[in-house]
């Protein structure tokens, strides 16, 4: 509960102080800022108490290049348990809470599943009263805002801070200096509260902004050399300006490496300073009070950096420093793709981080010595060296320099052990664990699907499921209750209506809310196979052209994805899908039976509208390529069956909900392994006329790539391969017919409305395992050895 009068008074006061206006004259973004700051006043005391309580024991720290947080206002109000109170108070001030929520920008701090997982972990740790702090970079512009021009992706700056950031506090007293080979910069932390659900605990996300030591040279300015006068400021701010800047040239690679080192060095200096204030120089205690999780390889430079701090700054000998370091760090691997196992050119490392590179060389020499003593052959040692072929292999450094390496889904972890990291698993079998990913049920059901949440609470008799998702399994008793299943279908229809209205307002595209909403939303990458989905749509279109009276349920195909600015083939796939959309959406002969929408600037807030409205969840990556996925879990939790391959967390989803309630297709890992070397995509192309017909549209003039040649390059990559991969590297041709057959099963199953609702219901009630609360508790007890501490 809140004191409404006090809350309203605070809003008016903040608007007056911050903006020099009365409430009735204020813009909506100013009202949003005032409401957020009024809420910050409410939580700051508990935030300070939480910090004090956590300082009494061991804490964990999550080092991540991304934190894809999503909007804060609605989530924070829900977690505080005051959403309805605040809504009513704002109504009395003639403020529409929905407009406030829409004015808030998605924080530009992440891009894909890795960043969203980090955000879910922070929510769960606060909710479970676990002492976990997030550390990362306060990007001023995020990755980019996505627009489409003539079907091409166009990137624009994502200035998410244009209305300010009322949720963060600048902590100038904790600033520190980070040194590179070519100079120094200042790291200034901004702290954001992470509010737990149903608890007074408030955790922290600390993000570093990069600033110049000297941001203005008056003498140069006075000489009218204006650009040079602020050059140091601009170069420093570049480090925290954009998430994942294009690194196709050496300058971009240097900037990325500086980003990685910048935030881990600042974070470690922060932790060491606080440790010394409390324990002096007794660094043997450091691992006893600190558990640092490296979220993928981006922050792995933290390993040699902690060594540098301990050896150079604190005078600790190598052997003791290495023991402290290894006991402190753990590493999460997020990829099976060999090309995604990060490597850095030694030349760049020497140039950017000369002392750190010296330490990495010594770590590599120690590894060679250890392997030699264990009797490893020279060829095996060379294969496992951290520095090899002129590169620093960050995944090897991560495994060697930590006490635990974990995968993020059962299948993924098994592949790491048996294939990708087999040598390391054989060397250190006790260091490998699995931690299947999870999602927070707060944002991904309680907040984004209030209608379904209310039904669940009504049937269970309490809302305890929000912090104990396993409880929804008790709803299995209703899987044959037609009244309840019809209520579920009614809720799904309501969410589809809401999404259709939003797409009409935001995209200017009208879609049929009574059609099947077939949704494919995730980062754009070839292995995720948005292109296979596009081929199926095109095949269905050609079938409709041959037979306009074909009896199918109308279907709306919805895509959402961003392609990395330098990933030309991914951008070609976006253009191709948008060309298909233009063709289909303007063809009156097919009578509106299918429609294609590629939503622009897909992110967390758009996802909150898409996941609850989906009828079918597209999870069609090549088997053995997706580490886990978390979008599949969000769909499942909102009662959406999966059409997908036996890949990543799909395997565990099917284990929980049953293959009969999902639509699994395609080659599995064993078959791919058998056919990989002999695979010939042209055989499928020649033998399957429907496949050939859709592939040929890339080159026969059906679609226009405006002379870029990108469609021809796509065609060649599938049939002829490229210098860096074989033809049809991700087996689209092999799985094409299976995929179409699975889609026909979807069509047939959807016609039985109650039968379909049962599949949806069983998926929803089987999602308990996929709560990030479960995942974070496993990390805390099995990797970090931290305990809950409640204020």
Instruction: Enter the DSSP assignment of 440.
Output: -
In this structure, what DSSP letter does residue 528 have? Answer: G
Q: Which ranges of 104-186 would DSSP assign to H, the alpha helix?
A: 113-127
The tokens of 668 are what?
A: 């599995």
Q: For residue 206, what is the enclosing H or E element?
A: strand 202-211
Structure-token pair, residue 667:
């080659």
CA nearest 511: which of 456, 449, 443, 581? 581
- Can you say how many angstroms the Cα of residue 247 is from the centroid of all Cα atoms in its chain? 20
Strand 290-295 versus strand 329-332 pairing type:
parallel
Measured CA to CA, the distance from residue 415 to residue 438 in angstroms comes to: 19
Tokens 């060296």 found at: 385
Give every CB contact of residue 337 below 8 A, 6+ residues apart in sequence: 527, 625
Alpha helices in 472-529 (DSSP H): 482-507
3-state secondary structure of 745: helix
3-state DSSP assignment of residue 771: strand
- Name the phi and psi angles at 208, rounded to 5: -100, 130
CB atoms within 10 A of CB 161: 16
Rg (CA), the chain: 27
Token pair listed for 703: 């679609």
Give the DSSP letter string of 635-699: HHHTT--EEE-S-TTHHHHHHHH-GGGSEE-S--HHHHHHHTTT--HHHHHHH-HHHHHHHHTTT
Of 374, 433, 372, 373, give the one whose Cα is nearest residue 408: 433
Listing DSSP states for 42-77 in one string gives HHHHHHHHHHHHHTTS-EEEEE-S------SHHHHH
DSSP state of 310: I
Q: Are 537 and 596 in contact (CB under 8 A)?
A: yes
Q: In what order do the strands lie in the sheet with 343-345?
A: 343-345, 391-393, 387-388
Q: Which residues pair with 62 in a beta bridge?
A: 134, 293
Question: Could you give the CA distance from residue 504 to residue 69 in angstroms, rounded to a whole number?
Answer: 26
Look up residue 479 and give its two tokens: 């899987």
Give dist(CA 777, CA 220) in Å, integer: 56
Question: Is 317 exposed, middle or buried (CB count within 10 Å of its CB: 0-12, 13-18, 19+)?
Answer: exposed
Cite the active site residues.
334, 522-523, 528, 630, 634
Q: For residue 62, which phi and psi values (nearest 5 degrees)?
A: -105, 105
State the number of CA atoms in the 13 A half-sphere of 560 facing the CB: 25
Cβ neighbours of residue 596 under 8 Å, at least 6 residues apart? 537, 556, 557, 559, 577, 580, 581, 584, 585
- Positive or negative: CA dihedral 734, 736, 737, 742: positive
d(CA 441, CA 95): 28
- The number of residues making up the chain comes to 791
Is the torsion defined by CA of 423, 424, 429, 433 positive or negative?
Answer: negative
Residue with tokens 């879990």: 633
Q: How far apart are the first and last CA of the chain?
A: 19
CA 653 to chain centre: 19
- Find how far residue 264's CA is from the centre of its chain: 20
User: β-pairing, 290-295 with 202-211?
Assistant: unpaired
- Which SS3 state, helix, strand or coil, does residue 725 take? strand
């Amino acid at each position: 509960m809140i004191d409404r009068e006090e809350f309203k008074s605070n809003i008016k006061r903040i608007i007056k102080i911050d903006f020099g206006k009365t409430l009735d004259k204020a813009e909506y973004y100013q009202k949003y800022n005032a409401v957020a700051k009024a809420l910050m006043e409410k939580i700051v005391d508990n935030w300070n108490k939480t910090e004090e309580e956590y300082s009494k024991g061991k804490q964990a720290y999550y080092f991540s290049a991304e934190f894809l947080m999503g909007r804060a206002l609605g989530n924070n109000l829900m977690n505080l348990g005051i959403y309805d109170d605040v809504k009513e108070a704002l109504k009395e001030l003639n403020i529409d809470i929905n407009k406030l929520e829409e004015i808030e920008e998605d924080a530009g701090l992440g891009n894909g599943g890795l960043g969203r997982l980090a955000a879910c972990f922070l929510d769960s740790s606060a909710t479970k009263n676990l002492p976990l702090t997030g550390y990362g970079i306060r990007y001023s512009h995020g990755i980019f805002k996505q627009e489409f021009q003539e079907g091409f992706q166009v990137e624009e700056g994502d200035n998410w801070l244009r209305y300010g950031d009322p949720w963060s506090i600048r902590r100038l007293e904790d600033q520190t200096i980070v040194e590179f080979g070519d100079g120094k910069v200042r790291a200034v932390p901004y702290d954001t509260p992470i509010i737990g659900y149903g608890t007074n605990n408030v955790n922290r996300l600390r993000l570093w902004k990069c600033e110049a030591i000297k941001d203005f040279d008056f003498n140069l300015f006075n000489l009218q050399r204006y650009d040079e006068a602020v050059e140091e400021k601009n170069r420093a701010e570049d480090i925290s300006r954009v998430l994942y800047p294009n690194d196709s040239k050496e300058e971009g690679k240097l900037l990325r490496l500086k980003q990685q080192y910048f935030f881990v060095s600042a974070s470690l200096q922060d932790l060491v300073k606080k440790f010394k204030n409390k324990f002096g120089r007794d660094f043997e205690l450091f691992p006893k009070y600190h558990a640092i999780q490296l979220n993928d390889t981006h922050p792995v430079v933290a390993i040699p950096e902690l060594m540098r701090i301990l050896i150079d700054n604190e005078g600790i000998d190598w052997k003791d420093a290495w023991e402290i370091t290894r006991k402190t760090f753990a590493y999460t691997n997020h990829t099976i793709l060999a090309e995604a196992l990060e490597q850095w050119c030694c030349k760049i490392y020497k140039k950017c981080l000369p002392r750190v590179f010296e330490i990495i060389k010594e770590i590599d020499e120690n590894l060679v010595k250890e392997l030699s003593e264990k009797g490893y052959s020279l060829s095996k040692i060379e294969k496992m060296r951290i520095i090899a072929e002129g590169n620093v292999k960050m995944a090897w450094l991560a495994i060697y320099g930590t006490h635990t390496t974990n995968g993020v889904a059962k299948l993924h972890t098994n592949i790491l052990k048996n294939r990708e990291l087999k040598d390391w698993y054989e060397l250190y079998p006790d260091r490998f664990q699995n931690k299947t990913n999870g999602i927070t049920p707060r944002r991904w059901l309680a907040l984004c699907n209030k209608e379904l949440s209310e039904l669940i609470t009504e049937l269970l008799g309490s809302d305890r499921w929000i912090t104990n998702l396993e409880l929804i399994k008790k709803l299995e008793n209703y899987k044959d209750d037609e009244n309840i299943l019809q209520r579920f279908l009614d809720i799904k229809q309501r969410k589809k209506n809401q999404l259709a209205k939003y797409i009409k307002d935001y995209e200017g595209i009208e879609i049929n809310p009574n059609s099947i909403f077939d949704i494919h939303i995730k980062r754009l990458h070839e292995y995720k196979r948005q292109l296979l989905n596009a081929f199926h749509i095109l095949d269905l279109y050609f079938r409709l052209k041959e037979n306009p009276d074909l009896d199918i349920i109308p279907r709306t195909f919805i895509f959402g994805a961003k392609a990395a600015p330098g990933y030309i083939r991914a951008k070609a796939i976006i253009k191709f899908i948008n060309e298909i959309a233009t063709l289909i959406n303007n063809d009156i002969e097919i009578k509106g039976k299918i429609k294609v929408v590629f939503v622009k600037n897909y992110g967390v807030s758009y996802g909150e509208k898409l996941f609850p409205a989906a009828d079918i969840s597209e999870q069609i990556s090549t088997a053995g390529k997706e580490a886990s996925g978390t979008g599949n879990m969000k769909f499942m939790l909102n009662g959406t069956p999966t059409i997908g391959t036996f890949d990543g967390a799909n395997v565990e989803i099917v284990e929980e909900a049953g293959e009969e309630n999902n639509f699994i297709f395609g080659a599995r890992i064993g078959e791919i392994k058998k056919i990989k070397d002999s695979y010939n995509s042209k055989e499928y192309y020649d033998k399957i006329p429907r496949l050939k017909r859709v592939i040929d549209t890339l080159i026969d003039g059906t679609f226009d790539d405006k002379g870029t040649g990108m469609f021809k390059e796509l065609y060649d990559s599938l049939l002829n391969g490229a210098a860096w991969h074989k033809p049809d590297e991700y087996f689209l041709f092999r799985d094409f017919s299976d995929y179409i057959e699975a889609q026909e099963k979807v069509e047939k199953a959807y016609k039985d409305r109650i039968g379909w609702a049962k599949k949806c219901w069983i998926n929803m009630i089987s999602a308990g395992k996929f709560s990030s609360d479960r995942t974070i508790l496993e990390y805390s007890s099995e990797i970090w050895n931290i305990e809950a501490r409640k204020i």
